[in-house]
Structure formats: C-alpha cells, structure tokens
C-alpha cells in the first residue's frame, strides 16, 4: 500500500505528463491546420506528443505491480 505522499507524487507526475502531452498535441494540430507539409519536424512533434501515452501505460503497469495489485 502506498502512503499519501507517494500517491500525491504519482498524481502530480501524471498531471505534469498530461499537461506536456496536451501542449505537444496542440502544437502538432496547429502545425497541421496551417497546411504545413508533414515535414520531419511535424513527424517528430507527433512522436513526442504520443510518447507520454506509451510511457504512462508502462509506468501504470509498474506502479500497480509495485503497489501489490494484480497487473492487467
């Protein structure tokens, strides 16, 4: 079982990740709306926007395992 401090730390990290993900996704869509061709920069930005999703899924599995829950 995690104590309140640990839970708060993980929640704050999740919020920071979500904010960064939203910022990057907005950058990507703004770039695409301006009819900028899908350059290396746009592709890189899209990859950066999607990376936190994959990392979050991995970290949630790890957190559940550490917390003693059954991992899905």
Contact 36, 42 (CB under 8 A): yes
Q: Domain for residue 33, yes or no? A: yes
pLDDT of 37 > 70? The answer is no
Please give the structure tokens belonging to residue 22: 């939203």
**29 C-beta neighbours (distance < 10 Å), count:** 13
Residue 23 structural domain: 4-66
Domain-located, residue 72:
no
Looking up tokens 């950058």 gives 27
Instruction: Give the pLDDT band of residue 57 (cuts 50, 70, 90).
Output: confident
Q: What pTM was computed for the model?
A: 0.40
Q: pLDDT digits over 7-31, tens only?
A: 888 889 888 888 888 887 777 777 6
Q: Cβ-count burial of 58 within 10 angstroms (0-12 exposed, 13-18 middle, 19+ buried)?
A: exposed
State how many domains the chain has.
1
Whether 30 maps to a domain, the answer reads: yes
CA atoms within 13 A on the CB side of 55: 13
For residue 71, is it within any domain?
Answer: no
Q: Does any domain span residue 31?
A: yes
């Amino acid at each position: 079982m995690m104590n309140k401090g640990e839970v708060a730390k993980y929640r704050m990290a999740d919020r920071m990740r979500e904010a960064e993900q939203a910022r990057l996704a907005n950058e990507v869509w703004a770039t695409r709306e301006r009819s900028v061709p899908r350059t290396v920069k746009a592709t890189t930005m899209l990859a950066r926007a999607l990376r936190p999703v994959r990392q979050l899924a991995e970290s949630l599995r790890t957190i559940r395992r550490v917390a003693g829950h059954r991992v899905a």
